[in-house]
Amino acid sequence: MVQARKSRTKSFGILTAGGDCPGLNAAIRGVCMAAAGRYGMKIIGIMNGFKGFLDESYRTLAPADYCGILTHGGTILGASREKPFDSVEKPGKIADDKVRIICEAYRKLELDCLVALGGNGTNTTASKLAREGLNVIGLPKTIDNDIVGTDLTFGFDSALSVGTDAIDRLCTTAQSHNRIIVIELMGNKAGWLALYAGVAGGGDIILIPEIPYDLKAIGRHLQRRAAAGKTFSVVVAAEGAMSVEEAQMEKKERKKYRKENGPSTAYRIAREINEQTGLETRATVLGYMQRGGTPSASDRLLATALGTAAADLLARGEYGRMVSVTGSGIGSVDLSVPEGKKRTVPADNQMLDTALAVETCLGVDF
């Protein structure tokens, strides 16, 4: 029997929160196998995100729980969008002080640390819990790839593959019927997924939240394509894509406008294009298809590497950190780095220039 290495952490809790995404189970497996096998730690699985603390839904995890889950989609721990700090920041909304309950449960379970796998909201909650005195380590997961402090998140590559495949399929339909098809991908504040899938799938127009689109510029691009004998086009739009006019609206006004002109971004843009150009236009919303299913090989590798790196942080007692991808290696940043922020596509991103170089319209005249 191999003797366990020394570890400052003897027992820790682990949870997954926010939306599901491919690679969560791979990350859970990476953390648990390294923590238990290499360091001899005890693992407590917290069910359904932070809600598990409130419901007292947790149990000790054994190898049988986390071995063999590398290729599985979803999460064996369940997830929820419970935001415990709402009870503190919005007094009167909820009677119970959820943060207090979580802290008490953490101490009752005699945890040395909590490992939280999630996106922006989860890592923000993790950072706030760290300020409450808990030892917390975060892992960045999201198909949106928009977490500040890491160059890449697991889940993104799998969603990119699904989005690219969908664009490929829609191209043949658009060509067969001489139509314009608008496909909506996830990305409310950041356009990484739409941009990368759009370039990979050969989208003719790519619309992302960072670049408010000009409908007249889109119309001119489509008319130029039609004049050149290109009788079909595929428009790839992030769910948060907005027009120049919308970008000038106040948040409440924009929300009202979208509600009245729904049911979603793709349908709104399809209607606008049809009205502007008279060209037959259809819309498709890929939706939760992007978040489900088996993780790609790349996401399995990344999730496993981040998970084992988290186990090493636990062993060294380096708490209050989020494991991250920095350049070509795995490192970590302080949990305060991603708190309350979104990593958006910068104006000088190489993929934007790549798109323009292959005559893709980004919704405005460059």
The residues carrying an active-site annotation are: 144
- Spatial distance between the Cα atoms of 141 and 22, rounded to a whole number of angstroms: 9
Name the phi and psi angles at 138, rounded to 5. -110, 150
Q: What contacts 157, CB < 8 A, 6 or more positions away?
A: 296, 298, 299, 302
Angle at 203 between CA 201 and CA 204, to 5 degrees: 155
Task: Output the DSSP codes for 274-308.
Answer: HHHH---EEEEE-GGGGT-SPPPHHHHHHHHHHHH
CA distances (Å), origin 33, targets 22, 120, 170: 19, 25, 41
* Run of H or E including 351: helix 350-357
Strand 11-16 with 42-46, pairing: parallel
- Spatial distance between the Cα atoms of 344 and 92, rounded to a whole number of angstroms: 34
Tokens 């691009």 — which residue? 221
The count of C-alpha atoms lying within 13 angstroms of the C-alpha of 349, restricted to the half-sphere facing its C-beta, is 17
- Spatial distance between the Cα atoms of 258 and 74, rounded to a whole number of angstroms: 31
Query: Would you mind telling me the total number of residues written for the chain in this entry?
Result: 366
Indicate the residue type of 357.
A
- Spatial distance between the Cα atoms of 167 and 266, rounded to a whole number of angstroms: 14
